A and B are shown apart, each in its own frame.
Chain A
Amino acid sequence: MTFRRLLLAGAAAVFATFGVITLVQAQSAGRQPDAKHGAVIVAQGTAAGAPPCAQCHAFNGVSDASGAFPRLAGQSAYYLTKQLRDFASGERASAIMSPIAKALSRDDIADVSTYFVGVNAPFLPLKAPDAALVKHGEELAQVGSAERRIQNCDNCHGPGGAGEPPAIPYLAGQYAHYIAFTLQMWRQGFRKNSLNTMGVIANKLDDQEITAVAAYYQQVQSTLEAAEAQGKD
């Protein structure tokens, strides 16, 4: 597809932006976030030197199946805004994202967040899922672990991990590699922008459990879609 058609396709995918945005206090007072402007930043970057988000995250926020970059499509705008601001302030550390976030103004941040909220995009399935691993992950996600004294993930991350907007991001359909990586970052204290919460939980999980939970969540959406397509719920 030409770049222009990509842009138009993206714009067409953006819905009227209302709802969650009231919580995104961000920007210049009284300004409504502008998803169309967000799309431009995602596609082209900014004059201040922020590269296009699309370079890593793809224009539709699906990134790629490697899981090196998180899926952003449909993520809560409040959450994306908080992460970008935390990258900019250093509250969240990332050699890649920090300079990018610093180059974005607060209005830019609001705009790209709003853009990604409204993007509808496919969920890439888990390649070669290990059924036992996924089952173990499902148990941790829906029930928790009595021996480890860990509550289930869905308590906070929403039904099937679909997120509890505005503050808690979806995990359903997020890349297993990225989830596992992030849990390791929480465990080792390199990521710490969720007070007394994710660090605590990650420290209770062992490597096997992290892999299980990550695998489970990546396949939630695509598995559900397949089941619905076959007429079973």
Chain B
Amino acid sequence: MAETLKPVDAVTIGVGLTGSLAALEMVQSGLKVVGLERGIARDTVPDFQSPAIHDELRFSIRKAMMQDNVKVAVTFRNNSSETALPIRRWESFLPGQGLGGSFVHWNGQSFRAQVADFVLRTHLIQRYGQKFLESCGPELTIQDWGVTYDELEPYYDRFEYLLGVSGKAGNIKGQIQPGGNPFEAPRAREYPNPPLKETYFGAIFRKGAESLGYHPYPQPSSNLSRPYTNPLGLRLEQCVFCGFCERYACEHYAKASPQTVVLPVLLKNPNYELRTSCEVLRINLDSTGKQATGVTYVDGAGREFEQPAEMVFITAFPLNNVRTLLLSGIGKPYDPTNGEGVVGRNYSYQTTGGPTVFMDESININPFMSSGAPGTMIDDFSGDNFDHSNLGFIGGQYVGSIMTGGRPIEFHPTPPGTPAWGLEWKRAVARHYNHTILIQQHGTSMPSRRNYLDLDPTYKDAWGQPLLRMTFDFPENDIRMSQYIAGKVVEIGRAMDGKIVVRGGTKRPYTTTVYQSTHNCGGAVMGDDPKTSVVNRYLQCWDVPNVFSLGAAAFPHNITYNYSVTIGAVTLWALDAIKNKYLKSPGPLVHA
């Protein structure tokens, strides 16, 4: 029998990036907020210190910072005709767990989206025509987001200054800036910090790309290039290029994470209470089904509680957001057979995979000296930056040399033709380890009628609730896109004086057995039309207006870039509306 607790003003389900931001805005507005986190509390000192944190087996291979598959997993199938089976060990994507969430162990790659991304359907039809769009894939469910880049720009700015992003502006109010990305969406001002020192592999890529007429620029980074005090008065330090970034936490206070940019202020606020090791089972609704009354959760000792609340923020990582909505009966679940319903619809991912370039053995790359966002990139093939008229696909990828470390269990490249094991293999590893450059292709993921999330009929988690079921494969459009760009990138590899260039490009079927990206996206998308979206442009549920689903579950397609900074911008935009409008007058913020 669940014990009912004293009511609070708001609850966040999950205390990662969006949970921390939401709680801070609300407590600063005078609300009493409880943050419920499935994982444990942790902080830079003592938990993220090296040398213990520089343990590749523990963090990269065993995935110590991720959700524990013993307790909860996701089931997967490539299409509806298959039976979904549990992902028994994470590989392809790695949902995080613990205070700070995935924003503790992310790489800090800090791009904005492009102007066209937010109005993608309108833009593509305007540029190429409806017929062209159809020809790229009639099953694609591309739609506009309901918010524009111009509306979001001030929030991008605010978020970048909160993090201390280190980069070089390429377009300030329409003026192209030398040294930056000429293709970037216009920004009001420079980054808060200058770019990181360029790595050797970045410099080699730069020369090769420039020789072909492309426009290399430094990757914007939330591993900071110098000490910085953010607007909350929190101080970050300078990245030392340790090469243990993604899947690891930062020992030096040099990576933007909830711990370094928000939590010390939030945790001190008397209106806020953090409860860890708490698994939220569902959001409770009143008898009308249109108002949330709070949440039910189980604590670490197995005790069940009901936490009444006036508002519920779902801030649990995209996949968990969608699952929470489904388990709570909020919104109509998507049915792929007839295309009706919205929860679980427009699930997308990321299209990745670039070439390997084997260099001359006199060139010491030293990949172990790196940060999480060390890249030199080009945007010449991102999004819609090039003319797709005769290419038969839409979307694009950024291209760059972004080697975030040289940790040997994960990185021991050998050229094609090398045996998979044995003496020749070992010699090849010794020969090529320090003379090989990886180039990343990283790009758009278009939504499809066939790709969606729902609840699994068979498999359950440790609390007895159905697992989320994922049905996904790369649309043919995205394969064509990545293969086209792969051909271009091979030329860059050769221009870099690569002795052997092994072509990249994405293939079907999508497999969960190899890491690709943790940028799972969609399933509770934002929009203007309740028939094709779960939340409105302020991330407020159409069906239950006191529930807000924050994070990338709201994105109707995945953009070219790592979406973390866009998550921050859209979240701050939504929170502003909640603070200024909703709190004064609770109810639907948008009338459809």
B238 x A145 contact (CB < 8 A):
no
Pick from A25-33, A153-161, A171-179, A216-224 the stretch touching chain B: A153-161
Is A227's CB within 8 Å of the partner chain B?
no
- Considering the chains assembled together, what is the distance between the CA atoms of A195 and B253 in angstroms? 16
Q: CB of A230 within 8 A of chain B?
A: no
Contact of A144 among B45, B226, B240 (CB under 8 A): B45
Give the Cβ gap from A148 to chain B, nearest Cβ, in Å: 9
Check A149 for interface membership: any CB of B closer than 8 A. Answer: yes
Query: Does more than half of chain A's interface fall in helix, strand or loop, or is it mixed?
Result: mixed
Are A144's CB and B227's CB within 8 A? Answer: no
List, in ascending order, chain B residues with CB within 8 A of A200's CB: 227, 237-238
Q: Say how far A163's CB is from chain B's closest CB, in angstroms.
A: 14
Contacting residues, chain B, for A156 (C-beta < 8 A): 240
Answer yes or no: B291 CB below 8 A from chain A CBs. no
Q: Is the CB of A154 within 8 A of B46?
A: no
Given A145-B45, A149-B44, also A155-B50 (CB < 8 A): yes
Verify B49–A155 contact, CB threshold 8 A. yes
Most buried by B among A143, A146, A154: A146
Chain B residues, CB < 8 A from A197: 238
Report whether B43 and A146 are in contact in the complex, using a CB–CB cutoff of 8 Å: yes
B227 close to A196 (CB less than 8 A): yes
Flag B41-62 by CB within 8 Å of A: 1 or 0 each. Answer: 0011110011100000000000
Q: Is B251 an interface position by the 8 A CB rule?
A: yes
Q: Are A144 and B43 in contact (CB under 8 A)?
A: no
Contact of A154 among B44, B51, B235, B237 (CB under 8 A): B51
**Contact of B253 (CB < 8 Å), options: A143, A149, A159:** A149
**B275 in the interface (beta carbon within 8 A):** no
Q: Does B252 lie at the interface of the complex (its beta carbon under 8 Å from any beta carbon of A)? A: yes
Report yes or no: B45 in contact with A150, Cβ–Cβ below 8 A.
yes
A120 at the interface (CB under 8 A from B): no
Q: Which residues of B contact A145 (CB under 8 A)?
A: 45
Given contacts A146-B43, A200-B237, contact A152 B49 (CB under 8 A): yes
Query: A159: nearest residue on chain B (CB-CB)?
Result: B51
Q: Counting CB contacts under 8 A, is A151 at the interface?
A: yes
Flag if B46 contacts A155 (CB, 8 Å).
no
Given A200-B227, A200-B237: A155 and B45 within 8 A (CB)? no
Interface residues of A in 111-155 (CB under 8 A from B): 143-146, 149-152, 154-155
Give the secondary structure class of B's interface: loop
Chain B 223-242 interface residues, beta-carbon cutoff 8 Å to A? 226-227, 235, 237-238, 240
- The answer to whether B46 and A146 have CB atoms under 8 Å apart is yes
Q: Report A-chain residues with C-beta under 8 Å of the C-beta of B49.
A: 143-144, 151-152, 155
Residues of A within 8 A of B251 (CB): 151-152, 155
The interface residues of chain B lying within 8 Å CB-to-CB of A196 are: 226-227, 237-238
B461 to chain A, nearest CB (A): 33
Residues of A within 8 A of B252 (CB): 151, 155
Query: Which residues 174-206 of A sit at the B interface, judged by CB distance below 8 A?
Result: 195-197, 200
Given A196-B238, A197-B238, A200-B237, A152:B226 Cβ within 8 A:
no
Alpha-carbon distance A156/B241, docked complex (angstroms): 11
Q: What is the bound-complex CA distance between A93 and B45, given in angstroms?
A: 33
Check A149 against B240 for contact (C-beta < 8 Å). Answer: no
Q: In whole Å, how far is B192's beta carbon from the nearest beta carbon of chain A? A: 15
Interface centre among A149, A150, A195, A196 (most CB of B within 10 A): A149
Contact with A along B261-272 (1 / 0, CB 8 A): 000100000000
* Nearest CB of B to A25, in Å: 14
Kindly report which residue of chain B lies nearest to residue A154, judged by CB atoms: B51
Q: Measured between C-beta atoms, what is the minimum distance from A23 to chain B in Å?
A: 12
**Given the complex, which residues of A lie within 8 Å of B51, measured CB to CB?**
154-155, 159
CB proximity to A under 8 Å, residues B123-150: none
| Interchain CB contact under 8 A, B46 and A143 | yes
Q: How far is the CB of B43 from chain A (nearest CB, A)?
A: 6
- CB-CB contacts of B31-46 with A at 8 A, as 1s and 0s? 0000000000001111
In the assembled complex, which residues on chain A have CB atoms less than 8 Å from the CB atom of B43?
A: 146
What's the Cα separation between A135 and B45 when bound, in Å? 17
Chain B residues positioned under 8 Å from A144 (CB to CB) = 44-46, 49
B226 — which chain A residues lie within 8 A by C-beta? 196
Can you name the residue of chain A whose Cβ is closest to the Cβ of B53?
A: A155
Closest to B54 in A: A155
The complex places the Cα of A213 from the Cα of B253 at a distance, in Å, of 20
In the assembled complex, which residues on chain B have CB atoms less than 8 Å from the CB atom of A149? 44-45, 235, 253, 264
A159 contacts across to B, CB distance below 8 A: 51
- Within B247-298, which residues are at the interface with A (CB < 8 Å)? 251-253, 264
A16 to B46, CA, bound (A): 41
- Inter-chain contact A143/B237, CB cutoff 8 Å: no
9 cross-chain pairs, A with B, having the tightest CB-CB distances, nearest first: A144-B45, A146-B45, A196-B238, A155-B50, A143-B46, A151-B251, A152-B49, A151-B252, A155-B251
Can you list 28 A-B pairs with a CB-CB distance of less than 8 A? Answer: A143-B45, A143-B46, A144-B44, A144-B46, A144-B49, A145-B45, A146-B44, A146-B46, A149-B45, A149-B235, A149-B264, A150-B45, A151-B49, A151-B252, A151-B253, A152-B45, A152-B49, A152-B251, A154-B51, A155-B49, A155-B51, A155-B251, A155-B252, A196-B227, A196-B238, A197-B238, A200-B227, A200-B238
Known: A143-B49, A145-B45. 12 other contacts (CB 8 A): A143-B45, A144-B44, A146-B44, A151-B49, A151-B252, A151-B253, A152-B45, A152-B50, A152-B251, A159-B51, A197-B238, A200-B227
Chain A interface residues (CB < 8 Å from chain B): 143-146, 149-152, 154-156, 159, 195-197, 200
